Chains A and B, each alone.
Chain A
Amino acid sequence: MRTLMKRSFAALFILSLAANSYAHRAWILPGATVLSGDDPWVTLDAAISNDIFHTDYHAMRLDDVNVTSPKGVSVALQNAHTGKYRSSFDLNLTEPGTYRIYTASNGLLAQWLSDDGQRRRWPGRGEAYTDEGFQNNVPSEASDLRVTQVSRRIETFVTAGAPTEQVLAPSGSGLELVPVTHPNDLFADETAEFQFVIDGEPAAGTQVVAIAAGMRYRNSQDAIETTADEQGKVSITWPHAGMYWLSATYTDERAAEPATQRSGAYTGVFEVLPL
């Protein structure tokens, strides 16, 4: 249990997503993913929006955004700013290789009916999960008590120079994408392969949706939808170059006590370059 809960999360947007994975899509969008030179910088935007990469709903809080360098060192966000519709920050890529920019969380969500028949949940919307809070707020027995193990991850990758593999290793907790094709080596008309894992094990049946940027400039979402195979693997052939928002969801009943259900949500942003 302790590892399950090792990262509580304060980010309001994530909790509201957990409660209501509806309409609003969260993303961290790099200005560029493939960089060269001695001292590259990259700017990233972080937001929750309705249309993909159009800042039309909420800024993402940056408190829980982390950056890991190719060698595994934590990198500081620079020039961080949170506006009404988006947050933005810069990264100075001092080491060559691939960086992971992410926000991730794991926790439990309890839902039950109170004695007077009211629907209850803990943590509430916008509330952070803590072990203590769970002990104090969730009854051990209640009508229709359901405890779900909930994980969320929102991430993207950028590479200075040649792509490296170190940051791609999964943490072993929650729903994660393990690249088979390097996430900063994606090209139009080529097929990329990714594996999804839940708590480190292949997440068979993960539902995956990829949507290209620029929804405002076309008439349909043109979503690419696929389901992970027994190994948790999916193949996606990118129809054209551009930035893509990829979202994956997974649920099963193999949760650790006291949870009875396990659910994971993953969002990645990937750049596909023209051949």
Chain B
Amino acid sequence: MRSTLIRSTAQRMFFAALFALTAPVYAGSLSVSIEVPRLQVSEYHRPYVALWIARENHQVVTDLSVWYDTALRNNEGEKWLKDMRQWWRRSGRNHTMPIDGVSGATRAPGVHQLVFKAGEAPLGNLEPGSYVLNIEAAREVGGRDLVQIPFEWSAENSERVYKASGDNELGNITLRVF
């Protein structure tokens, strides 16, 4: 019994060491391309956009990116963060803005490419599993859009591409896991 125990402890240590070495196998990347549509409206403001990863039960794993109006005096741009109402409920309201490495200025219409690397903020070490990428946009005197893309994050790291699109405030969204 005793020797078995020792042996299994040693085995465990061996596997733990092996796991530590092999852990970077999980480390892949996420790339997200987000189309901010060009809209013909009399009054246009760039949308606020939030990107975050949640588990299937909506629990937030990490915020990836938050675009809001950072140029207004007295942080007045923060007043409208709650218009991204799902993000605000799930994550935003628990933060103090700005969020280091996550939040930044709004972006112009066009396609924006974002890459997040495993092991680096803000993606960090994502455990293998099923997740949902959420992209929410809200535009002043405009509308609001939420796109949800379920995806698998696994050890194999074979490339997978997921496509979705918004209704009005978001255009085509492509998520690439590799």
On A, residues with C-beta under 8 Å from B are: 22-23, 50-51, 56, 219-221
Contact across chains for A50 and B144 when beta carbons are under 8 A apart: no
Identify the closest chain A residue to B146 (Cβ): A219
Inter-chain contact B143/A219, CB cutoff 8 Å: yes
B134-178 residues at the A interface, CB under 8 angstroms: 140-145, 167-168
* A22 to B141 alpha-carbon distance, docked (Å): 10
Min Cβ gap A97→B in Å is: 36
B43 lies within 8 A of chain A by Cβ: yes
Contact B167 A219 (CB under 8 A): yes
Which A residues are in CB contact (< 8 Å) with B145?
Answer: 219
Number of contacts between A and B (CB, 8 Å)? 22
The number of residues on chain B lying at the interface, defined by a beta carbon within 8 Å of a beta carbon of chain A, is: 11
Report the separation of the CA atoms of residues A221 and B138 in the bound assembly, to the nearest whole angstrom. Answer: 11
A221 to chain B: which residues have CB within 8 Å?
141-143
CA distance A221 to B142 in the complex (A): 6
**Nearest B residue to A207 by beta-carbon distance?**
B42
Other 4 A-B pairs with CB < 8 A, given A23-B45, A219-B145, A220-B168: A23-B43, A23-B141, A219-B167, A221-B141
Chain B residues within 8 Å of A, Cβ to Cβ: 43, 45, 79, 140-145, 167-168
- CB closest residue in chain A, given B80: A50
- Give Cα distance in the complex from A219 to B142, angstroms: 9
Residues of B near A219 (CB, < 8 A) are 143-145, 167-168
B142 CB, min distance to chain A CBs, angstroms? 7
A-B contact pairs, 22 of them (CB 8 A): A22-B43, A23-B43, A23-B45, A23-B140, A23-B141, A50-B140, A50-B141, A51-B141, A56-B79, A219-B143, A219-B144, A219-B145, A219-B167, A219-B168, A220-B142, A220-B143, A220-B144, A220-B167, A220-B168, A221-B141, A221-B142, A221-B143
Q: How far is the CA of A22 from the CA of B140 in the complex (A)?
A: 11
Min CB distance A119 to B, Å, is 21
Residue of B nearest to A222 (CB): B143
Tell me the complex Cα distance, A23–B43, Å. 7
Residue of A22, A23, A220 with most chain B CB atoms under a 10 A cut-off:
A220
Interchain CA distance A221-B144 in the complex, whole Å: 9
Q: Complex: how many Å from CA A56 to CA B79?
A: 9
Q: Looking across the interface, which residue of chain B has its beta carbon closest to that of A57?
A: B79
Residues of B within 8 A of A22 (CB): 43
Give every chain B residue within 8 A of A56 (Cβ-Cβ). Answer: 79
Complex contacts, B168 vs chain A, CB 8 Å: 219-220
Q: In whole Å, how far is A52's beta carbon from the nearest beta carbon of chain B?
A: 9
Bound complex: CA A51 to CA B45 (Å): 14
A220 CA to B141 CA in the complex, in Å?
A: 9
Chain A residues positioned under 8 Å from B142 (CB to CB): 220-221
Interchain nearest-CB distance for B61 vs A (Å) = 25
Q: Please, which residues of chain B bring their CB within 8 A of the CB of A23?
A: 43, 45, 140-141
A56 to B76, CA, bound (A): 12
